[in-house]
Structure 1
Amino acid sequence: MTGNRETIAIASDHAGFELKEALKGTLEELGFSPLDLGTDGPASVDYPDFAGKLASTLAEDKAKRGVLVCGTGIGISIAANRHRHIRAGVVHDATTARLTRLHNNANVLCLGARIIGLDVAKDCLRVFLETDFEGGRHQNRVAKLG
């Protein structure tokens, strides 16, 4: 945390670099402090490395939530979900962003830069960060995840 602003870890591979950069500004506009874990440019990199950095950052309690971006959101979500403390959900619109928090208590938002546009990605990010876990009937299911 920086002051009263929650830190949100954010990382991407090369395909998600431009969207990650744009979303850092959105995080700041929404009152959060982005913690950029890379990549730092469009040169080809391996998405599991950046999912691992984000997972380590959350495990070390340097942030409670994170955002990952790759071409589809799928590969980086698979890599992130290999870590037991991560619940990463790929979303494509505000509805899936809301439900991944509401029903799954996801702590990592995954986006596909080649799948959705900037405005939709911003909506997904805002809704993900504003939505609380519903608990109730979902609590037992989420507990079985890790």
Structure 2
Amino acid sequence: MKIFIGNDHTAIEMKNKIVEYLENKKYEVINIGTDSSSAVDYPDFGYNTAKLAVENNTLGIVICGSGIGISIAANKVKNARAALCYDEKAAEMARKHNDANILALGARVIAVQKALDIIDVFISTSFEGERHQNRVNKLNNL
């Protein structure tokens, strides 16, 4: 599976550890985030990551300091359903009930190991469909 990952300057260390972790699990990770500590604008990276994930019908991960701003940017892409998750239960429910395709994380508010645990749940959980499909359709048509 191909996974797109984007980040701002606050999340370089977390992004690099996530990329290494996912590549060790044999995922193809496409890094479109910054690798520079110079300040950048998270909306650019959130939007571009979500756009590529949606266009390629795959998952994306976006990371900024809190995860809030970059998730807002990602959700500007039609058919992107970015979910900001601080724990595994949120990641599970985002996938099961909302068919979330973009995971947003906050590098300043969660530890790297916690982020990896959240990612494992996000990637391994499937959308339940059925009664949730109509709601996801509504989200996509907003």
Shorter chain as denominator, the TM-score bin is over 0.9
Deviates more, 1:28-37 or 1:116-125: 28-37
Q: Supply the distance in 2 between the matched residues of 1:103 and 1:29 (Cα, whole angstroms).
A: 29
The answer as to whether partners of 1:98 and 1:127 remain within 8 angstroms in 2 is yes
Q: Supply the distance in 2 between the matched residues of 1:13 and 1:111 (Cα, whole angstroms).
A: 11
In the TM superposition, residue 59 of structure 1 has moved relative to its aligned partner by 4.1
Q: TM-score, normalised by structure 1?
A: 0.91
* Pairing partner for 1:55 from 50, 53, 64: 50
The residue aligned with 1:101 is 95
Letter in 1 for 2:14: L
CA RMSD of aligned residues (A): 1.1
Q: Unmatched 5+ residue regions in structure 2?
A: none
In the TM superposition, residue 52 of structure 1 has moved relative to its aligned partner by 2.0
Where does 1:47-126 land on structure 2 (aligned, <5 Å)? 47-61=42-56, 64-126=58-120
Q: Unmatched 5+ residue regions in structure 1?
A: 1-5
* Pairing partner for 2:22 from 6, 19, 27: 27
* Pairing partner for 1:38 from 33, 38, 57: 33
List, as ranges, runs of 4+ consecutive aligned residues in structure 1 with deviation greater than 3 Å. none
CA deviation profile, 1:71-125 (whole Å, cap 9, x unmatched):
0111000011011120000000111111110111000000000110011000001
Number of matched residues? 140
SS in 2 for 1:95: helix
The answer as to whether partners of 1:91 and 1:109 remain within 8 angstroms in 2 is yes
2:111 matches 1:142? no
Q: TM-score, normalised by structure 2?
A: 0.94
SS in 2 for 1:145: helix
